Amino acid sequence: MSSDEKKQTFREVLATNDIVLAPGAYDVVSARIIRESGAPIVYLSGLANEASDLGLPDLGFTTAVEMVRRAGLIARAVDCPVVSDADTGFGGPINVVRTVREFAAAGVSAIHLEDQSFPKRCGLLAGKSVVAAEAFAATVRTAVDAAGPGLTIIARSDAKGAEGVDGVITRLKRYADAGAGAVMLGDFYTAEDYERIARAVPVPLIACAADPHNFAVQPDFSRDAWRAMGVRMVVYWHLPLFAAMKAVREAVTHLATHGSLSMPALATDGYRDYARTVDLDRWLAVADRSEGTS
């Protein structure tokens, strides 16, 4: 599937699927595993990428070059659309234009930009501040113009703490009017809030799922519940990274404690699982042909 076909496919997925559950990749291998699960798109989580790539919290340490590089590697490795976090656009208007063009050139199908002020913070953290709604609407217009007809611009609002649900709705409608192909919520909400927001905005609504430590703030809504609320896509930004962290922690602790992997047995993937995920046989065939091996 070509880059242009992937971009069109993403728009079709968002328009025709009644709900898309999107685990957040943190590297290329996790992206390939997500695709193996049957997911119609791969989402690159900014928090997960920042942690895996830099070992740092989601406070805006990642640069545009680093994020575009990771997103581009994933886009080349999977046969489906890739949607990437693009923070605030990594600067002012001219930086936003370059950011958009670089993501598009990397083969990414959609990016989301958020209305936080710089430096940004993880959506879970207190103390977030947002730029004026009209200023961010202008950013959205700039991004849409730079993207052209292919790359989808998703406008995310983190304004719940500062302006409440009414303020967020007003912002999202303004961002949609500015040309955003979809809108996204960076905060957690109740089911009633999601229903209200989905009814109010004229473009597809994307939500963030909660991790287990935040289920008291937002429940672990089921697929059917998200669908009933009118949400079109849910990003599980934490799932692959947090699952991998737990698995690695348990595995290395097991080895340190027992001195082997088999006494007692440790449940892990093996080399054959790795080989399948990275297409080892296909690449070996290429190498063997080039070396004249029969």
Q: What is the pLDDT of residue 272?
A: 95
For the segment 113-155, what is each residue's pLDDT rounded down to a tens digit?
A: 999 987 787 777 777 889 999 999 999 999 999 998 889 999 9
Say if residue 23's pLDDT is above 80.
yes
Q: Hey, what domains does the chain have and what are their CATH numbers?
A: 3-238 (3.20.20.60), 245-290 (no CATH)
Return the HEC string of 16-67.
HCCCEEEEEECCHHHHHHHHHCCCCCEEECHHHHHHHHHCCCCCCCCCHHHH
Q: What is the pLDDT of residue 119?
A: 74
Please list the alpha-helical segments (H only) found in 187-238.
Answer: 191-200, 223-229
Give me the chain's average pLDDT, please: 94
pLDDT band at 17 (very low <50, low <70, confident <90, very high): confident
As a whole number, mean pLDDT of residues 215-228 equals 97
Q: What is the pLDDT of residue 245?
A: 96
Helical (H) or strand (E) element with 92: none
Say if residue 50's pLDDT is above 70.
yes
Farthest-apart Cα atoms in the chain, separation: 68
CB 182, CB 205: distance < 8 Å? yes
Q: What is the pLDDT of residue 293?
A: 55
% of the chain with per-residue pLDDT over 90: 85
pTM here?
0.93
Q: What is the pLDDT of residue 292?
A: 67
Say if residue 175's pLDDT is above 60.
yes
Three-state DSSP class for residue 174: helix
As a whole number, mean pLDDT of residues 169-173 equals 98
Distance between CA atoms of 232 and 16, rounded to whole angstroms?
Answer: 9
As a whole number, mean pLDDT of residues 80-105 equals 95
% of the chain with per-residue pLDDT over 70: 98
As a whole number, mean pLDDT of residues 245-268 equals 94
For the segment 186-199, what is each residue's pLDDT rounded down to a tens digit?
A: 999 999 999 999 99
Distance between CA atoms of 151 and 133, rounded to whole angstroms?
Answer: 23
Q: What is the pLDDT of residue 188?
A: 96
Say if residue 294's pLDDT is above 60.
no
Distance between CA atoms of 148 and 101, rounded to whole angstroms?
Answer: 9
Q: What is the pLDDT of residue 223?
A: 97
